[in-house]
Structure 1
Amino acid sequence: MTNEEQRKKKSVEKFEELCKWSKNSGFDLKSYSQTHNESTSVSPKIDLLLFLIVTLVSFYCRLWRLSEPSEVIFDEVHFGKFTNWYLKGEYFFDIHPPLAKLILAMVARACSFDPTFGFDSISAEYPSNINYTCLRMAPSIVSSLIAPVLYLTIREIGCSVYGAALAALMIAFENSLIVESRMIVTDAFLIFFLSLTVLFLIKSTKYKPFTTRWYLFTAVSSAGLACSISVKLTALGVGAALAIFQILIVLSSSSRNATQSSFIDLIKHYAIKASIVIGTTVAIFLACYYFHFELLPYHGTGDVFMSHQFRLSLSDKDNAPRQSQIGVQTFWEKFFHLNQVMHNSNMAINTTHPYSSKWYQWPLFMGTAVNYWDKWVSIDGDNLRKRIYCMGNPITWWLVALGIFLIAISLFLFAVSIVFSRMRNVNLHEIIILKNNNNNIRKKENEKRKLIKKTFISYTRFNYFIDHIDNYLEIIVFLFFGYILSLIPFVLITRVTWLYHYLPSLLFGILSFSFIYDLLLKIFIKKKYFKLIITMIIISLITFGWYFFRPLTYGLPLSNENFQKRMWLENWRPNK
């Protein structure tokens, strides 16, 4: 029996027991649940239509006016140069693993990108013969796919289309991710690979071990994690969250399978799964460095960071490759040496910046917005300023903070319910007995009866809530720790950090909020149109947040007065 089947069986047993208890209270829990199921179930056509809508919205937000500005924006200075050096084969140095840069180089080669443009400075004008839009297209398209992936993820967890559409549109209308997706930079690749990791990790738990789909989804999830780490090592925090998830699966599954043989089978199952995850991650990570070295055989700007022995493995571009004086340097020597230099260089960064912010400022969006590009323009005689700011949609960020808080409270209540489960059951039966003993009391005590009934209904709903937390415990803990552990690297390091470093945590936060929101709808809102109205109100607020800050996302002209109106918090301004 798979974990999903065990979870469903356990859920049915608890639900039937709870329904028997609630029957004596006048609160028909079974009818209540059936009403909810009818209100949240939709036809496959509606599901597909919503999926297509959020996908189109996501593509529109990222591809609109992609060629503007026709100037170098922020870190395009660096990643444009990296792309050129790949095309020229000239060795360079960067503090992050090479996968995303390799993807950009592959796209540049496919588009016949001209590497003669130097990306010398921010705001440098792109010549007409430089197809910079082609390079911007790569992260934009990848980022556009994140919204439909999140839609599928929330549906895969078992939530309604309300939660799925909400999660997809929160990420689609996220201004900071849109900005990062419209430049020749790499964060969009990181968030996309992380979203694939979560989706296929959840899918893998729904199939019996060693079946074709089990292998397929485990491999794809592992590949997503490997690609994430191969973009930025900070994704290792998600790997730790994944390990916690697997441990919880083992413990919960073993508790539902009392026999020793089933426990041994579970250990075998997850040992094999761990081998797949680790093996896939190591293979992809090493492959990225292999192609990195293969594409950079010549001396370049990165030479000064490397050892004398490393430099001997490089060749002069205008001459035939020369033989190393110490013999052909093996891949492993280059791999370990480069990663050591990357780590040391990363830790040695001690510069400050007026647009930097700290990790503890991000959850409540108290960090400084990052000015990526600005330019004065004259329109109808008015001097206006175009700016591109990396700043989040505040509605989304604050909802995510609320969602993480509610998830933490839910886990706390679940822990308390486990500790006091016996007391809970005794109190429940006492309430039922008290209710039955008061069936024949006089009318003057009606208020007392109503209070008893109200107490029992609240109690039943609490149990209903706790049982749902129990049924999805592993997933909830994974999302919660995915959020926390994505922040941990920026807690530990002392180097300068920026608002966009919060994006991996924001991804898990959006999934967490959407899940807990859907669960609260399930418990407290019965009418379908109420669910729709509440969801549409939240989506409208998120859409307003995107639209209001849209000029700073796409570099549209603004007067100073209108710019100041968008600086809601003093913390958003640079620390000058």
Structure 2
Amino acid sequence: MNGDMLIVLTLALVSLPIRFYHFQDPPEVVFDEVHFGKFAGEYINGTFYFDVHPPLAKMLTALVAQVFSYNGDFDFGTIGNSYLGSSVPYAEMRAVCVLLGVLLVPASFVTLRTGGHSAPAALFAALLVLFENSLSTNSRFILLDAYLLLFTAWTLLSWAMFLKHRNTPFTLEWWWWLSATGFGLGCAVSCKWVGLFTIATIGCSTLYHVWGLWGDLRVSKISFFKHFVARIICLIGLPIAIYVFCFYVHLELLSLTGSGDSYISPHFQHSLVGRDIIETPSDVVYGSIVSIRHLGTNGGYLHSHASNYPEGSKQQQVTLYPYEDENNLWRILKANSSNESEEVQHDILGSDNKTWLQYVRSGEMIKLEHLITRPRKLHSHNEKPPLSDEESYKEVSAYGFPDFDGDANDFWVVKTIGEALESRIQALQSQFQLIHTLQTCALYSGNKKLPDWGFGQQEVACIQNGKIPKTLWMIEQVAHDLLPLEKTRMTSYPRYSFWQKFKELHGLMWRANNDLKESHPYQSRPSEWLMLVHGISYWERDGRHIYLLGNPIIYWTVTVTVFIYMILSFFFKLRQQRGVAERFQPDLLQFYKRAAGFYAMAWAFHYLPFYLMGRQLFLHHYLPALYCGILLVGVSVDLVLQKFKWKLSQWIFVFTLTAIAICAFFNFAPLSYGLPWNRESCIRSQWLPYWDFGCERFSTIGHFANPNPKHAEL
């Protein structure tokens, strides 16, 4: 064990300079630091944001930033924005990620040694982790993957430790490592939902061992029940508690209205400070000034402004706008007149005690006059909207001019959902459609964003035979000078509980993940990861390029090892069925099958599910599977080493294989570290015909020089 400790310390010390080399360079925003650096500022400012990933890694990033006095004011919006002169402690934030990447190296060694594998095999796997370019590059920046990978590695290590103590159940060590496994599972899934694949891995292994306990007649029913309950508590209850707690802290920290408001429901929005819960009269009468919110999306309010469509009717734009604004206000008029002095049905006497007001009811025909640009009114006609070419879509505009009372294209029928015809429209309660009388279409909005001429706001159209959810609206605020407030019930949004927010956020995260289907120049599919077909450009400037590319020797070795394992498993099964004697000792072969089977399963769980995903995928999604694959390589090498008679020959074999991987690592180091490179070396390093490192950006001369002399002392 002393020898193992010495190897662990040596691995950590060797990893430090390799991982930390020029980690401060470039002093600019790189790749997804655009997102995760910005989110750190949101936590510090307390402003709500929305993201597709759970919050733990982002909160830890924000904690580091706050400890080092970041004030949350930096613009992370564009790759290449300079950190110099700002309050962003980017070096410290990156350093924590680098340190997590360093810990991954000894963790892999200890995991295999704990599993009973030889020191040469465990060291070999650890060195592959150390000299893997994509693991190194991805841990050098303010990203989530360093946190995810470490928690994944911690989980696998803790599970190996637990299995080591499985023959001494319910001891302190047994409970500690079972709980540590659950802790790792909870943290991994709280960083990214990819952690669910780690849960599946440990879950299957747990079922295998519990099934073994059930078949062991030496284990009493009471003892089996204790085993079962212990695993439920530690491997299900504890991860769930950690996951929920992370979201609780997340929502407590982000209490102010912010950039994420447009993604969440109005009920959720009005639970944030800055969008305090409003009270409004529930009664809606003709002549009321109202704001109308779309319910089918979180796009916001029915909105118009003094800008016209550049094509089509070229009339005034109507859009959805996510924030409260005076351009969201509309006056409800009777369809046959805009004169409010007409005789009305005697529904409620106005506050002047002489004017009768009439409620707006379902089934009635109305006009909506835009308050700021009146007399323009909500209007539709047989024109195509700007973003939709189908015949079923009609343009919606605001149309009118002085001394013109409008026409039938301004007429809309209010039709409530789930209420009787002629029922009263109630603010914050009635959900209704607005049906255009001439085009027989319903006022609609999807999630399409208008271009710059529409200020990026959400398109509003009128759709024939559209799905009801995208055609539903609700009146949020009501104002009328003559509405007697003493006779009118006031209403407001109910305050959302934590569980309601938690449920809504997960629905939004799920849909947002599935909607990430736009093409990206560096996206790749799972079938391309095995042979390292594509990488990802992180940053480029002045003849330097940071490009996420794995060490091809290691990637290809992992791929070959996985397929060899599947072939050997089938081969051994055939030999066993035929009763053929094995050259390996039975215990050794069984040990290999169990160990290799576990890491092969871990690799499969972290890799194969991506084939079911239609969203954008990138090479970095493969990194957890790659880590599991490297452990499988270590186990497989351990089986091979059993054929070596002398210990020295084992070490020579391991270091020879490692030397090949190290040479490949340094060959691609200019891309990992963003170092100056020469064009000839770049071209020679494009081993595969579909690799494109942009060699034209490099000069014909270059070397491994300090790319930023100003930071040479760092």
Q: TM-score, normalised by structure 2?
A: 0.65
Query: SS where residue 70 of structure 1 aligns?
Result: coil
**d(CA) in 2 for partners of 1:290, 1:515:** 40
What amino acid does structure 2 have at the position aligned with 1:343?
W
Which residue among 657, 666, 687 is the counterpart of 1:547?
666
Q: What is the CA-CA distance between 1:254 and the residue it aligns to? A: 4.7
Which residue among 46, 52, 67 is the counterpart of 1:110?
67
- 1:9-48 correspondence to structure 2 within 5 Å: 44-48=1-5
1:186 matched residue in structure 2: 144
**d(CA) in 2 for partners of 1:574, 1:163:** 34
Contact 1:313 1:329 in 2 (8 A): yes
Query: SS where residue 374 of structure 1 aligns?
Result: strand
2:689 matched residue in structure 1: 570
**d(CA) in 1 for partners of 2:494, 2:273:** 14
Q: What is the CA-CA distance between 1:272 and the residue it aligns to? A: 2.3
Contact 1:234 1:489 in 2 (8 A): no
Gap runs ≥5 in structure 2: 280-491, 695-714
1:553–1:50 Cα change, 3 Å: same
**d(CA) in 2 for partners of 1:339, 1:572:** 38
Q: What is the CA-CA distance between 1:295 and the residue it aligns to? A: 0.7
1:400 matched residue in structure 2: 558
Query: SS where residue 115 of structure 1 aligns?
Result: coil
Which residue among 374, 387, 399 is the counterpart of 2:545?
387
- 1:259-408 correspondence to structure 2 within 5 Å: 261-262=219-220, 265-266=223-224, 268-316=226-274, 325-366=492-533, 368-376=534-542, 385-408=543-566
Q: Which moved more, 1:59-68 or 1:262-271?
A: 262-271
Q: What is the CA-CA distance between 1:133 and the residue it aligns to? A: 0.5
What amino acid does structure 1 have at the position aligned with 2:499?
W
Query: SS where residue 572 of structure 1 aligns?
Result: coil
Query: SS where residue 142 of structure 2 aligns?
Result: coil
**d(CA) in 2 for partners of 1:278, 1:309:** 31
Is 1:409 equivalent to 2:554 in the alignment? no
Q: What is the CA-CA distance between 1:545 and the residue it aligns to? A: 1.4
**d(CA) in 2 for partners of 1:570, 1:271:** 55
Residues 180-237 of structure 1, C-alpha deviations (whole Å, 9 max, x = no match): 1111111011110000100111111222221111110001111111111111112212
Query: SS where residue 546 of structure 2 aligns?
Result: strand
Please tell me the root mean square deviation across aligned C-alpha atoms, in Å.
2.0
Q: Which moved more, 1:499-508 or 1:466-475?
A: 466-475
Query: SS where residue 194 of structure 2 aligns?
Result: helix
Q: What is the CA-CA distance between 1:262 and the residue it aligns to? A: 4.0
Q: What is the CA-CA distance between 1:252 and the residue it aligns to? A: 3.7
What amino acid does structure 2 have at the position aligned with 1:246?
T
Is 1:242 equivalent to 2:202 in the alignment? yes
Is 1:97 equivalent to 2:54 in the alignment? yes
Q: Which moved more, 1:350-359 or 1:322-331?
A: 322-331
Query: SS where residue 495 of structure 2 aligns?
Result: coil
**d(CA) in 2 for partners of 1:481, 1:267:** 27
Q: What is the CA-CA distance between 1:327 and the residue it aligns to? A: 3.6
1:542–1:263 Cα change, 3 Å: farther
Q: What is the CA-CA distance between 1:120 and the residue it aligns to? A: 2.3
Residues 453-474 of structure 1, C-alpha deviations (whole Å, 9 max, x = no match): xxxxxx4524x2x532323544
Query: SS where residue 461 of structure 1 aligns?
Result: coil
Q: What is the CA-CA distance between 1:571 and the residue it aligns to? A: 2.7
Which residue among 191, 215, 223 is the counterpart of 2:183?
223
**d(CA) in 1 for partners of 2:498, 2:693:** 44
- 1:420-431 correspondence to structure 2 within 5 Å: 420=578, 423-424=579-580
Q: Which moved more, 1:300-309 or 1:410-419?
A: 410-419
**d(CA) in 2 for partners of 1:417, 1:246:** 28
Q: Work out which of the two has the higher radius of gyration on C-alpha atoms and give 1 or 2.
A: 2
2:11 matched residue in structure 1: 54
- 1:204-215 correspondence to structure 2 within 5 Å: 204-207=162-165, 208-215=168-175
1:553–1:218 Cα change, 3 Å: same
1:489 matched residue in structure 2: 609
Q: Structure 1 or 2: larger helix share?
A: 1
**d(CA) in 2 for partners of 1:472, 1:560:** 46
Q: What is the CA-CA distance between 1:560 and the residue it aligns to? A: 2.6
Contact 1:246 1:270 in 2 (8 A): no
What amino acid does structure 2 have at the position aligned with 1:269?
H
**d(CA) in 2 for partners of 1:414, 1:361:** 30
Contact 1:406 1:516 in 2 (8 A): no
Residues 331-362 of structure 1, C-alpha deviations (whole Å, 9 max, x = no match): 00000100100100110111111211110111
Contact 2:277 2:493 in 1 (8 A): no
**d(CA) in 2 for partners of 1:553, 1:245:** 36
Residues 58-83 of structure 1, C-alpha deviations (whole Å, 9 max, x = no match): 22222111110111111111111101
Contact 2:52 2:513 in 1 (8 A): yes
Query: SS where residue 354 of structure 1 aligns?
Result: coil
Aligned residues: 479
Contact 2:516 2:616 in 1 (8 A): yes
- 1:459-478 correspondence to structure 2 within 5 Å: 459-462=581-584, 464=585, 466-471=586-591, 473-478=593-598
Is 1:156 equivalent to 2:114 in the alignment? yes
1:272–1:153 Cα change, 3 Å: same
1:533 matched residue in structure 2: 652
Q: Which moved more, 1:226-235 or 1:266-275?
A: 266-275
**d(CA) in 1 for partners of 2:524, 2:222:** 48
What amino acid does structure 1 have at the position aligned with 2:54?
P
Residues 236-293 of structure 1, C-alpha deviations (whole Å, 9 max, x = no match): 12211212111222334455x345x547634541342133210111000001100110
Contact 1:310 1:334 in 2 (8 A): yes
**d(CA) in 2 for partners of 1:414, 1:244:** 22
Query: SS where residue 251 of structure 2 aligns?
Result: helix
Q: TM-score, normalised by structure 1?
A: 0.80
**d(CA) in 2 for partners of 1:417, 1:274:** 38
**d(CA) in 1 for partners of 2:512, 2:595:** 36
Gap runs ≥5 in structure 1: 1-43, 377-384, 425-458
What amino acid does structure 2 have at the position aligned with 1:307?
S
What amino acid does structure 1 have at the position aligned with 2:683?
Q
Query: SS where residue 545 of structure 2 aligns?
Result: strand
